[in-house]
Structure 1
Amino acid sequence: MKINWRNIKWAGNSYAALYAACELAGYELIPVDKPEDDITLYSLNSVNADHFSDEIRNAECITVAGGPHPSADHKQFTGIADYVVVGEAEYSLPALLRYLDPDSPEKDLPAGVAAGDRYREKDYCVIPDAYPPFTKIKGYVEISRGCPYGCAYCQTPRLFGQGIRHRSIDCIVKAASGYRDVRFISPNSLAYGSKTGTSPDYDKLEKLLSSFFSDQNVYLGTFPSEVRPEFVTEKSLELISDYCSNKKIHFGAQSGSNRMLRKIRRGHTSEDVVSAVELCREFGFTPVVDYIIGLPGEEEEDQRETLEQIKWVCRYGKVHSHYFTPLSGTPFEGEKPAPLIPDVNRILGKLSLNGKVTGYWIESGSRFFNQNK
C-alpha cells in the first residue's frame, strides 16, 4: 500500500512530524505533486483549502484531508475527501492507515477520523514525548503544544486545545543534536515548562536553554517560536541574552487599541506591547511586532491607535502586518474584515519602502497565496 503526501507550501513541518509518527507505525509518506495511488494525504489551511478541493474531489485514489481547516469543518470535507483527520494527527493518522491497510485486521473507524456521515470524536490528546518531532524529514523542534489563550481569530487552541503540553528537555535536546542552528516551534516559547502557560517558568526555561552543546546556536523568541508581549520581561531577556544567538524578539501585538485587544480576547494590553519594545531596546534586541489590520468591529479610532503604535515601534524595530483573514473554527469565522481608512495604506506603504514594515495589509488571505499546486 503506497501512501503519498501532497506537497503544499506551509505544510512542511506537518509533513516532518507526521512522517515520523507514521514511520513508527511502519508506514512511509512519499512526497508527490499530484494525487497518486493508493492513498494521498493533504494538510490544508483555511485559505488554500478551496484551491485543492476540486483536485481532492476528482482524485482517482483514496484521499485523506487534515490540517486546521478540515479539522474545523470536517462535515464540509467529508463531502470532498474520503476521510478527514480531525485535530492533531500523530495517533489518528497511523490508526487510519492501519484501518485502510488490506492486510490489517482493523475494522473500526479510528477515533478522531470522519468519513461520510460517520465521525468518532477523539477521546485522547497526544503526549509530545510519545512521538519524535521529526526523523528522516527534517523540521523544527516542537517544544510545546496547545495555548491557554482563546484569541478570537486563532485556530491554535481549537486545533490543539487550551491546555499546554511540553516536550521533555531530554527529548528536545536529542532531536536537536544534529543541528548547528536550533529553532523551536511553540505558540509561545517563553511559556515552556509552565503548568498553565499563562506565566513564565524561568527555572524550566533556563534548564532547557542550558542543555544544548556549546557549538550549537539556539534561537528562541524569534521565528518560528514567537512569544507574547507580557512574557518579554527582564528575566526572560536575560536568559535569551545568556544562552541564545538571536538578536531579534518576535511577538504579537495584533492591535494598538485596548478596546480591540479586549474584543479579540487577546489577554494583554497595548501597554504590555510598549513595555516589551522598551525592554528589547534596553537589552539590545530588535523587536519584530505582528499586527492584524481590519479586525471585525474595528473602528477608525482603533485603526489610528494601531497606526500610531506601529509608527512608534518602527523607530526601534520592525513590524509585520496583515489584513484580517477569517479562519474556520474560530469565533471570528464568517466575520468580515473592517474597512480600512486611507491612512493605513499610505503610512504602511511608506514604512515598507523604508524596510520597516513587511506583510500584506490590502487583501484578506493574500499572505497565503501562490501555494504550490
Structure 2
Amino acid sequence: MRVNWRLIKAAKNSYAALYSACEKNDIILNPVESPEDDITLYSLNSINAPHYLEEMKEASCITIAGGPHPSAMRNEVLKYADYVIVGEGEYTLPALIRYIENKSENKFENSRAFLPKGVATKEGYIKNDTCVLLDSYPPFSKVKGYLEISRGCPFKCAYCQTPHLFGGCMRHRSIDSIICASKAYTDVRFLTPNALSYGGDGRSPAYDKITRLLSGFEKDKNLYFGTFPSEVRPEFITQKSIDIILKFCSNKKIHFGAQSASNSVLKRINRGHSAEDVLDAVELCRDNGIMPVVDYIVGLPGESEEDQIHTLNQIKWVCRTGKVHAHYFTPLPGTPLHQKKPAPLIPEVEKTLGKLALSGRVTGSWMNTELRFFRKNKNE
C-alpha cells in the first residue's frame, strides 16, 4: 500500500519524526499536497484543523489523523477521518498501517481485536497504556527536523496541551543519541518543552546533565539552546545556567515564557512562577549581554483591565533591552481553559503593542491567532 503524508507547514517536525519511525518498519511516507491513494496521513493542531477536515471527509482514500487536535477531539475528528491516533505516533502509526494492510487482505477473523491501542475509530477506542522511549526512534532520518531531546512537562499550565499529549513526567533522549543525530547539522537547534530541564525531573535545572550534553558536541557545531524553536521557563534562568549557555552555545538570545505580569492570573492558570521571576530573568540576561525574548499571552480568561495594564507595563519594560512575542489567547481542547472565553483587550493594549511592533520590539499575533500557523515562521 502507498502511504502518503499530507504536507502542512505547522507539522514539519512531526513529519520528520514519523517518517523516521515508519522507515524503521519499511514504510515510506510520501509527501503530497492533497489526499492520494491508498492512505493519507494528517497531523493537525487546533488552529489549522478546520482547514483540512472537509478535505479528509471528501477523500477517496483511507485517512488517518493525529496531532494535538485529533488527540483531544477524537470523536469530532472521526466524523471526517477513518482513524485517529491519540497521543504519540512513533509506535502506533506503523502498527496501524500494518493493521490496515492485513485487514485489506482479509487476514483477520475479528479485525477489531487486532487494532493497536491508542487508535480511535467510530466503533470505539482503547487508550494506550505505554509511552515512547525516545532512544528507540531517531528524531529524524531522510526528512530532516529539529533535534528533539525531551518530552513531557510537569507544570500543567491551564492553557497548554503539552502535558495532555505527552504526559507530566519528563522523558529525555540520551546524550549519545543526541550527539549522533547532531551529525546531520552544523547549526544544531533543539526541540523540548524547556531546554533547561534536560536530564532532570523538569522542576529545576540539572546543571550537571546540561553541561555533559553541551560539552559533548564537536567543536565545529553551532549550538542554539534555550532559543527557537524551544524556550525555557524564567525561574530556570540563573547565573549558572547562563554561564553554561555562554560557554558552549552560539545563541545570543534566550527565549522564555512569562505569559502574564499579573500574579493573580499566573496563579489562576497554574503557571508555577511569579511576575518577579520574569523581572529577575530579564535582568540576568541583560547583565550578561544576552537578549531576552519573552512570550506573553494577552486576553487570558478572567483578565481584568488592571491585569492587562500590569502585563502591558512589563512588556514595555522588557522592550527596553529585549523583545516580546505576544499572541491572543486561544482556548485549546484537552486543556482546563478549553471552554473559557478570551478576555477582550482594552484599547491601550492593542495601541501599544502595535506601536512597539512598528519599532521591531514586539512580534506575534494578538489580533489574528491564525497568523501563527499560516505565515512563514522566522527564527527568533
How would you bin the TM-score normalised by the shorter chain?
Answer: over 0.9
Of residues 148-157 and 98-107 in structure 1, the stretch that sits farther from structure 2 once superposed is 98-107
The match for 1:307 among 312, 328, 332 is: 312
The match for 1:147 among 145, 153, 162 is: 153
User: 1:40 corresponds to which residue?
Assistant: 40
Three-state SS of the structure 1 residue aligned to 2:301 is coil
User: 1:68 corresponds to which residue?
Assistant: 68
The answer on whether the counterparts of 1:35 and 1:61 sit within 8 Å (CA) in structure 2 is: yes
What is the percentage of aligned positions where both structures have the same residue?
A: 62
- The one-letter code matched in structure 1 to 2:280 is S
The match for 1:178 among 176, 184, 188 is: 184
- The one-letter code matched in structure 2 to 1:113 is V
- The one-letter code matched in structure 2 to 1:19 is Y
The match for 2:367 among 362, 365, 370 is: 362
Structure 1 residues 194-237: Cα deviation after superposition (integer angstroms, max 9, x where no partner): 0x210010000000000000011011010012100000000000
- Count residues in correspondence: 370
Distance 1:123 1:154 in 2: 22
Shift of 1:141: 0.6
Shift of 1:123: 1.1
User: 1:86 corresponds to which residue?
Assistant: 86
The match for 1:229 among 234, 237, 259 is: 234
User: 2:49 corresponds to which residue?
Assistant: 49
Shift of 1:79: 1.6
Distance 1:364 1:186 in 2: 23
Distance 1:159 1:180 in 2: 31
Shift of 1:104: 9.1
Length-normalised TM-score, structure 1: 0.97
- The one-letter code matched in structure 1 to 2:133 is I
The match for 1:219 among 209, 220, 224 is: 224
- The one-letter code matched in structure 1 to 2:188 is V
- RMSD after superposition: 1.2
Three-state SS of the structure 2 residue aligned to 1:11 is helix
**Mapping 1:1-373, distance limit 5 Å:** 1-102=1-102, 107=111, 108-194=114-200, 196-369=201-374
- The one-letter code matched in structure 1 to 2:319 is C
The answer on whether the counterparts of 2:9 and 2:374 sit within 8 Å (CA) in structure 1 is: no
Shift of 1:282: 1.1
Structure 1 runs of 4+ off > 6 angstroms?
none
The answer on whether the counterparts of 1:148 and 1:157 sit within 8 Å (CA) in structure 2 is: yes
Length-normalised TM-score, structure 2: 0.96
Distance 1:32 1:237 in 2: 43
Shift of 1:364: 4.0
Distance 2:47 2:352 in 1: 27
Three-state SS of the structure 1 residue aligned to 2:254 is strand
Structure 1 residues 74-106: Cα deviation after superposition (integer angstroms, max 9, x where no partner): 111112100000001001001101101146957
- The one-letter code matched in structure 2 to 1:20 is S
Shift of 1:125: 0.5
The answer on whether the counterparts of 1:98 and 1:104 sit within 8 Å (CA) in structure 2 is: no
The answer on whether the counterparts of 1:324 and 1:365 sit within 8 Å (CA) in structure 2 is: no
Three-state SS of the structure 1 residue aligned to 2:203 is coil
- The one-letter code matched in structure 2 to 1:280 is C
Of residues 14-23 and 343-352 in structure 1, the stretch that sits farther from structure 2 once superposed is 343-352
Shift of 1:370: 5.6
Structure 1 residues 253-277: Cα deviation after superposition (integer angstroms, max 9, x where no partner): 0001111100110000000000000
Three-state SS of the structure 2 residue aligned to 1:20 is helix
The answer on whether the counterparts of 2:22 and 2:28 sit within 8 Å (CA) in structure 1 is: yes
Distance 1:104 1:65 in 2: 24
Three-state SS of the structure 1 residue aligned to 2:142 is coil
The answer on whether the counterparts of 2:13 and 2:146 sit within 8 Å (CA) in structure 1 is: yes
Shift of 1:164: 0.4
Shift of 1:47: 1.0
Shift of 1:178: 2.1
Distance 2:106 2:41 in 1: 19
The answer on whether the counterparts of 1:325 and 1:365 sit within 8 Å (CA) in structure 2 is: no
- The one-letter code matched in structure 2 to 1:230 is E
Q: Is there any run of 5+ residues in structure 1 with no aligned partner, and where?
A: none
Distance 2:99 2:26 in 1: 13
Distance 2:349 2:261 in 1: 13
Q: Is there any run of 5+ residues in structure 2 with no aligned partner, and where?
A: none
Distance 2:251 2:26 in 1: 38
Distance 1:248 1:369 in 2: 25
Distance 1:305 1:370 in 2: 30
